[in-house]
Structure 1
């Protein structure tokens, strides 16, 4: 059995890739509300910041920052994955290895994580999140993919920096004429 070593730093910022067992599935986008609910429940119990996220049909990428006194991202992923699995439909085929453990067989057991080291590393992983829907062949432009937090953040920034619409002032119009 492999011995996985995870770099655990309290308050660290991490990039994650989490995949479904069935790479042809679109379960994550067809049941996006279940994923959002499972994440919300987890964050309420075990807080963390989601710096960026993109949900693809069969995998997701996220960047999290953990609280200063906590380094346990594995327990958070376990809670999100089990919360989602509890309510998602079972796949047509469940591998025997998952059946033996009483698992639904939705997720790959392992996930990939990378601790963000500096600003350049963060920029690189933000770019990976932004470009993931293009690399997956889902859209031509990142802004066309609806399941990306970076699109939402960009839209919100545009709304706050855009000039306020002019509201006609009847008194000013009367004075001008």
Structure 2
């Protein structure tokens, strides 16, 4: 059975996008490249970032697409492609990736969840911001620099010392 993605025009989605090498720190080592890749795609295929966190080997995002638009797959393809093309070709490739002319940087797929309601929305936004603590990268959410948490604090969504109290962590 093939996985079928749920495409909702103008929808809000939670995503997890992983590097192929889960022991890598490539995303934070090249944080400006991932930021620039996202910026470029946003300019050419607009979307709104509700929440975002970049960890060493994966990232999470809650994104809302424009009304009438459901093409998140192409956005992720472009983000991943632009990031990959900006890096020197130093990764080891297996025969399949070599045959298909692929890089060995990203996992081929990504995980997506269509946000269903406001409770679901806040659960996933909180999950995104809490994730560096969940992975033991920091002791306080505010300590992780690669997160939209800081902008949310400035907008008054969170207090500076928020740490995910009452957060359910199965996202």
Q: TM-score range by the shorter chain?
A: 0.7 to 0.9
Instruction: Give the structure 2 partner of residue 157 of structure 1.
Output: 155
Residues 130-154 of structure 1 show CA distances to partners (whole Å, capped at 9, x for unaligned) of 1110111110111000000012321
| Alignment-derived partner of residue 76 in structure 1 | 75
Q: What's the Cα RMSD here?
A: 1.2
Between the aligned partners of 1:39 and 1:90, the Cα distance in structure 2 is 21
TM-score of the aligned structures, taking structure 2 as reference length: 0.87
Q: Which runs of 4+ in 1 moved over 6 A?
A: none
- Which structure has the greater CA radius of gyration? 1
Tell me the TM-score normalised to structure 1 length: 0.84
What is the CA distance between 1:91 and its match in structure 2? 4.4
Q: SS of the residue aligned with 1:117?
A: coil
Given that 1:35 and 1:80 are in contact with CA atoms closer than 8 Å, whether structure 2 keeps it comes out as yes
Q: Which runs of 5+ in 2 are unaligned?
A: 157-171
Q: For residues 78 and 110 of structure 2, what CA distance do their matches in structure 1 show?
A: 13
The runs of 5 or more residues in structure 1 that have no matched partner are 159-177
CA drift at 1:95: 2.5
Q: What SS does the corresponding residue of 2:62 show, helix, strand or coil? A: strand
1:11-160 map, 5 Å: 11-154=10-153, 156-157=154-155
Which of the pair is proportionally richer in helix? 1
Aligned partners of 1:12 and 1:51: how far apart in 2?
12
